[in-house]
Amino acid sequence: MARAMHAAMSRAWLIGAGPGDVELMTLKATRALAQADVVLVDDLVNPDVLQFARADALVIYVGKRGGHPSTPQAGIIVQMLAHLRAGRSVARLKGGDPFVFGRGGEELQALQAAGIDAEVINGITAGIAAPAAIGIPVTHRDHAQGVVFVTGHSAGSGEPDWAALVATRMTLVIYMGMRRLSDIVGALLAAGMNADTPCAAIESATRPEQRHALARLGEFADTVSRAGLGSPAIVVIGGVASLALARSVPMKTLSVGVGCRLHTSAVQIETAVRAALGSHTFDEISTIASIDSKAHEAGLLEFCARHALPIALFSREQIAAIPVAEPSAVAREHLGVDGVCEPCALLGAANVSAGSAASAASAASAASAASAASAASAASAASAVPNAQLLVRKTAHAGVTVAIASIIARTEHEPTTHDTEKQDLP
C-alpha cells in the first residue's frame, strides 16, 4: 500500500512537445499529458498542445516571456517537487526533445536526487524537424556521413571548437545560433570551411509563421539579417542544405479560396487554411482569393498581411460563372452564388497563371484589387477555368470554408529575383 502510494506520488513525466506542429507530438506524449494534474510548460512549446491536457489541469508557464529571464531552473524543480509531494502528477513539457539542449538531463537528475523516477518521453527535435520542413535531410550519402548538433550559445562552458567541427565534414545543425551568427560564420570561414558551403536558417519551423533563408556561407549572415530572421531558428550548414537550395525555385502554385462570415478572426481563418493545406505549406501559397464583398473584412486582411499574401477578390458574376459540385444554400442565400471558396480558388489560380500581376495586390490595397481582378479575369472565368485545377475541395472549419486550387504552369515556372526575394523575406 505504502509502495503504491509512493508510486502514485512520484508520477512525473519529462515530455517532448516536438518542434511546434501539434501533429508532430508523439502518441505517448499526448497520453501522458492527458493524465497530468499539473503541467509545467516551456517557452518554445506551442500552446496548442495543451489541448491534450486535462481541462482541469493546472498549467504553469515557466519559460522566458517577452524577454524576461526564465524561471530559474532550481525554482522549476522546487515547484515540481512541491506538487509531486502533494500527490499531484506532474508533466514537464519541453519544446522538441527534452534531452536535446532542453536541460532535461539536469531536471531528471534533480528529480532522481529527490527520489523521484520521472519518465522521459521523446519529442521530435527542432534540429531534425526544421531542416526537414524545407526539404533538407540532415544526412545524405552524397553530402554528409553524419550530423553534429551543436549549440551556438556559448554560455559558461565556452565556445564549441568550430575548427574541429569543420574537420568532421559533417552537417552542422546549430541550435540557439542566431544571436551570434556572424561570429559563428566567421569562425567557420577562419577554420577553412569553403565560403560556397550551402547554409539554411529556419525560423519557427513547422509553425504557420515558419520562414527561412538560404545562402552560401560567405553571404549567409548578411542574408539572414536582411531577411530579419530571429529566434527560434535552426541553422544548417553543409552540402545537404543545397537540397533546399534546389527546392528554393519558388513553387508558389497554390491559390487558396476562402469563404467566411462577417467578423471572422484572422486566427480562425489561419486555422482553417492550415487544416486545408494538409502537408502543403504557406510558402506554396501564391494568392488568397475571395468574393469582393469581403474587401474590408478585417480578419481576412489581417491574415493576408500576416503571411504577406496577396489577395484577389472576385465579383459575384465571375464566381457564378464557375460550376460548383456541391452548391451551398448559405452562400446562395447570403451572396447569391452557389459557393465561394471553390470558384475563388480556381479564379485565383487562373489569375496568377495568366500572369496578371494587376489582379493580385497586397492585403492593404485589397479594395482596389477587387476592381483590377474583375477586369483581368473576366474573360478566363467565363469558360471553365484554364490553367487551374482544384486540389482540395471545400473544407469547412469553424465557419470558414477553404478550397485550394493549383496553378497548372504553362511552362516550367521560372525563378525570378522577385520570387526568390519574396521567399526569404518576411
Q: And the C-alpha cell for 178?
A: 542566431
Q: If you count DSSP H runs as helices and E runs as strands, how many of each does the chain have, helices first?
A: 16, 15
At 293, which amino acid appears?
Answer: S
Task: State the DSSP code for 99.
Answer: T
Q: Of these, 17, 36, 44, 388, which contacts ligand SAH (CB under 6 A)?
A: 44
Of 172, 245, 227, 235, the C-alpha closest to 202 is 235
What are residue 391's phi and psi, to 5 degrees?
-100, -45
Q: Of these, 53, 205, 345, 372, which contacts ligand SAH (CB under 6 A)?
A: 205
State which residue, 97 or 270, has the beta carbon closest to ligand SAH. 97
- Under rule CB under 6 A, how many of the chain's residues touch ligand SAH? 25
* Local structure of 256: helix, strand or coil: strand
CB of 60 to ligand SAH, least distance (A): 18
Separation between Cα atoms, residue 373 and residue 382, nearest integer Å: 14
Neighbour order of strands in the sheet with 90-94? 58-61, 38-41, 90-94, 12-16, 118-121
Q: Of these, 97, 297, 342, 424, which contacts ligand SAH (CB under 6 A)?
A: 97
CB of 206 to ligand SAH, least distance (A): 6
Question: How far lies 377's CA from each of 130, 287, 289, in Å?
Answer: 38, 14, 13
Does 201 engage in binding with ligand SAH (CB under 6 A)?
A: no
Q: Are 297 and 260 in contact (CB under 8 A)?
A: yes
Question: Angle 224-225-226 (CA atoms, 0-180°, nearest 5)?
Answer: 95
x-or-dash pattern for ligand SAH, window 119-158, by CB under 6 A?
Answer: ------xx---x----------------------------
x-or-dash pattern for ligand SAH, window 211-240, by CB under 6 A?
Answer: --------------------xxxx------
Catalytic residue among 43, 64, 117, 161: 64
DSSP string of 143-192, one letter each residue: TBS-EEEEE----SS----HHHHHHHTPEEEEES-STTHHHHHHHHHHTT
CB of 41 to ligand SAH, least distance (A): 13
x-or-dash pattern for ligand SAH, window 12-31, by CB under 6 A?
Answer: -------xx-----------
Q: Does residue 42 carry a catalytic annotation?
A: yes
Does 95 engage in binding with ligand SAH (CB under 6 A)?
A: yes
Does 343 engage in binding with ligand SAH (CB under 6 A)?
A: no
Of 294, 299, 261, 258, the C-alpha closest to 276 is 258
Q: And the C-alpha cell for 128?
A: 531534425
Catalytic residue among 42, 97, 292, 424: 42
From 71-79, 80-88, 99-107, 280-288, span contacting ligand SAH (CB under 6 A): 99-107
Does 101 engage in binding with ligand SAH (CB under 6 A)?
A: yes
Q: Does residue 28 carry a catalytic annotation?
A: no
Does 100 engage in binding with ligand SAH (CB under 6 A)?
A: yes
Catalytic residue among 25, 80, 170, 176: 176
CB of 205 to ligand SAH, least distance (A): 3
**Residue nearest to ligand SAH according to CB distances in the complex:** 96
The catalytic residues are: 42, 64, 176
Residue ranges binding ligand SAH (CB under 6 A): 19-20, 44, 94-97, 100-102, 125-126, 130, 175-176, 202-207, 231-234
